[in-house]
A and B are shown apart, each in its own frame.
Chain A
């Protein structure tokens, strides 16, 4: 697989690994994984575990539980989540365009404007149809 021109090429003489630049990511990952695991583990080791019926029942501000823990979620959350995904996809198209904005010039600007305009029509539609209300 040819390594793209212009990106950082690891120098084989120094024994540098191809993915050396991502070593901090690995560190992050390990720390992020270990921190909660170690904390929970130590807590599990230390704490007493004597469950009884009352302690194991569901907590509802001190009173007897009246309604089930899971309540019906309204569909408005779903609509907002779908709209988020759609505009998120639109946004990721903006990233590469922004990176090369200068090179792509006026032509690139116009084509991106058309793209955005079409989605703005969608936004107007969503707005006027009340999809953005009460959520």
Chain B
């Protein structure tokens, strides 16, 4: 049993600089909102963006802070048995960057957006900041209690973001569905954690791995049930089938910046937790949980894409499409699970997940930014018909939307193709060719409903409305997303190098 040393604790705090920055800034936002609310309206968004940028810088700095000059890979805040609860390694760094990216897009979209601008803009920004703060523990946490509290913080802020437009019925419905099902999933997750604790005697991922590596018998039943329940709980957060029911209503009801946050950052957070828990704690038993995940992946891809075919509301369509993308991403995790000690396959699996989530964030955030663009008369422009004739009203945005949709479908020369190449390749490497074929077929299906939007933009005629006034932050968001989507498609090397850091997961 390790003793406790306050000095070590204070030393370990240095590894939490990004988290401390975010928490402190969130508190400042609240205090400012309580005392000088008017100032917040003007500078709140830009200030938040600046803080997110500084946090990203701090996170990236951790990459080179390690002893070997490479990656930190250090364990902090050891518990009684000496296992660390908080770890800074390449995996954590890469995922935190994804979170900050998703949050930055959300903040950009929320500036000058009527539903989130005004006297509650500070609350909106504070909720986004605290949600990202919680997410950071999903990426870095290795003690199940730390991870769970981070998950709850992220989720609670998420529920509130979805229900932010209190006067709007769809927001209420979406928020209630998300909240009730989310709370149920949290309960199931906790029950699974308690069963795993009962089976292994440790609440820390490393302790669980050590206990599993030791014996092969004993409480196998508990363990299996616990793992299944944990998968159910996290599967809900990721919006995988059959736990995806909340996603369409929540995405539709939330304000578009909040929807983008859910689809990009929150999903990445849940995946970070899924990866961390299943690779670190249950990595040895990959052959046991991989079949379940194969089922989830195949179901998510298929149901998500087929359901999206019939949607006329672009936000709901993107919600179902994100369910499908969750299925694709699960293939990377399956590859890690079935790698069976082959480091190359494991690396490919982790890399492909991180890379795809980056690419997916750009494309999805961009698509939602386009939806935010189409607001008119106080109503969100989320129906397919609102996209009619967009090419005449705003050609640049139309081309960007084309890029985003092609990237989501995985057409060559866009970033999405690169991401899918890596993911599907990982599945093929573990002899799951049939799964890769299902994924390709689903990508073709998805092309159909993405094409409906493209047809509306480029071929159909609109109502003859005049040019749209685009706020600067929104155009910055669309431009940046479009640029990256194109660039990664033709020159993916730097991003692949970045995603490769995700392979460096401590102790696994």
Chains A and B touch each other in the complex, with CB atoms below 8 Å apart: yes
A interface vs B, CB < 8 Å?
A: 107, 118, 121-122, 124-125, 127-129
Closest Cβ–Cβ distance, residue A77 to chain B (whole Å): 18
By Cβ-Cβ distance, the 5 closest A-B pairs, closest first, are: A128-B34, A107-B6, A125-B34, A125-B30, A121-B27
Checking B6, B9, B31 against A124 with a beta-carbon cut-off of 8 angstroms, the contacting residue is B31
A/B interface sample: 14 pairs, CB < 8 A: A107-B6, A107-B9, A118-B27, A121-B27, A121-B31, A122-B30, A124-B30, A124-B31, A125-B31, A125-B33, A125-B34, A127-B34, A128-B34, A128-B35
Cα-based distance from A128 to B33 in the complex (angstroms): 9
Query: Could you say which interface size class chain B belongs to?
Result: under 10
Closest Cβ–Cβ distance, residue B402 to chain A (whole Å): 44
Cα-based distance from A126 to B35 in the complex (angstroms): 11
Cα-based distance from A107 to B35 in the complex (angstroms): 31
Judging by beta carbons under 8 Å apart, are B27 and A129 in contact? no
- Which residues from B are CB-within-8-Å of A118? 27
Nearest B residue (CB) for A121: B27
Closest Cβ–Cβ distance, residue B285 to chain A (whole Å): 29
Judging by beta carbons under 8 Å apart, are B6 and A129 in contact? no
Closest Cβ–Cβ distance, residue A43 to chain B (whole Å): 43
Q: Which of A107, A122, A125, A128 has the most CB of B within 10 A?
A: A125
- Which residues from B are CB-within-8-Å of A124? 30-31, 34
The count of A-to-B residue pairs whose CB atoms sit within 8 angstroms is 18
Cα-based distance from A74 to B450 in the complex (angstroms): 47
Cα-based distance from A129 to B35 in the complex (angstroms): 9
Cα-based distance from A121 to B34 in the complex (angstroms): 9
Cα-based distance from A6 to B353 in the complex (angstroms): 51
Cα-based distance from A128 to B27 in the complex (angstroms): 14
Cα-based distance from A127 to B34 in the complex (angstroms): 8
Q: Which of B27, B33, B34, B35 has the most CB of A within 10 A?
A: B34
**Chain B, 8-27, CB within 8 A of any chain A CB:** 9, 27
- Which residues from B are CB-within-8-Å of A128? 34-35
Closest Cβ–Cβ distance, residue B160 to chain A (whole Å): 12
Cα-based distance from A127 to B27 in the complex (angstroms): 15
Cα-based distance from A128 to B37 in the complex (angstroms): 11
Closest Cβ–Cβ distance, residue B308 to chain A (whole Å): 38
Q: B279-298 interface mask toward A, CB cutoff 8 Å, 1 = contact, 0 = none?
A: 00000000000000000000
Nearest A residue (CB) for B6: A107
Cα-based distance from A125 to B28 in the complex (angstroms): 11
Q: B358-391 interface mask toward A, CB cutoff 8 Å, 1 = contact, 0 = none?
A: 0000000000000000000000000000000000
- Which residues from A are CB-within-8-Å of B30? 121-122, 124-125
Cα-based distance from A107 to B33 in the complex (angstroms): 31
Cα-based distance from A124 to B6 in the complex (angstroms): 31
Cα-based distance from A107 to B34 in the complex (angstroms): 30
Cα-based distance from A122 to B26 in the complex (angstroms): 11
Closest Cβ–Cβ distance, residue B22 to chain A (whole Å): 13
**Chain B, 484-505, CB within 8 A of any chain A CB:** none
Cα-based distance from A122 to B472 in the complex (angstroms): 33
Cα-based distance from A122 to B123 in the complex (angstroms): 12
Nearest A residue (CB) for B122: A125
Closest Cβ–Cβ distance, residue A1 to chain B (whole Å): 13
Nearest B residue (CB) for A105: B6
Cα-based distance from A107 to B27 in the complex (angstroms): 22
Q: B31-46 interface mask toward A, CB cutoff 8 Å, 1 = contact, 0 = none?
A: 1011100000000000
- Which residues from A are CB-within-8-Å of B31? 121, 124-125
Cα-based distance from A121 to B130 in the complex (angstroms): 14
- Which residues from A are CB-within-8-Å of B27? 118, 121
Nearest A residue (CB) for B119: A129
Nearest B residue (CB) for A108: B6
Closest Cβ–Cβ distance, residue B34 to chain A (whole Å): 4
Cα-based distance from A118 to B20 in the complex (angstroms): 12
Closest Cβ–Cβ distance, residue A4 to chain B (whole Å): 15
Nearest B residue (CB) for A129: B34
- Which residues from B are CB-within-8-Å of A122? 30
- Which residues from B are CB-within-8-Å of A121? 27, 30-31
Cα-based distance from A129 to B33 in the complex (angstroms): 9
Nearest A residue (CB) for B10: A107
- Which residues from A are CB-within-8-Å of B9? 107
Cα-based distance from A107 to B9 in the complex (angstroms): 10
Cα-based distance from A125 to B35 in the complex (angstroms): 8
Nearest A residue (CB) for B4: A107
Cα-based distance from A32 to B144 in the complex (angstroms): 42
Cα-based distance from A121 to B31 in the complex (angstroms): 7
Cα-based distance from A109 to B204 in the complex (angstroms): 26
- Which residues from B are CB-within-8-Å of A127? 34
Closest Cβ–Cβ distance, residue A80 to chain B (whole Å): 18
Nearest A residue (CB) for B28: A121
- Which residues from A are CB-within-8-Å of B6? 107
Closest Cβ–Cβ distance, residue A75 to chain B (whole Å): 11
Closest Cβ–Cβ distance, residue A92 to chain B (whole Å): 16
Q: Which of B30, B33, B35 has the most CB of A within 10 A?
A: B30
Cα-based distance from A50 to B70 in the complex (angstroms): 89
Given contacts A118-B27, A121-B30, A129-B34, 12 further A-B contacts (CB under 8 A): A107-B6, A121-B27, A121-B31, A122-B30, A124-B30, A124-B31, A124-B34, A125-B31, A125-B33, A127-B34, A128-B34, A128-B35
Nearest A residue (CB) for B31: A121
Closest Cβ–Cβ distance, residue B152 to chain A (whole Å): 13
Closest Cβ–Cβ distance, residue B189 to chain A (whole Å): 20
**Chain B, 142-162, CB within 8 A of any chain A CB:** none
Nearest B residue (CB) for A124: B34
Q: B448-473 interface mask toward A, CB cutoff 8 Å, 1 = contact, 0 = none?
A: 00000000000000000000000000
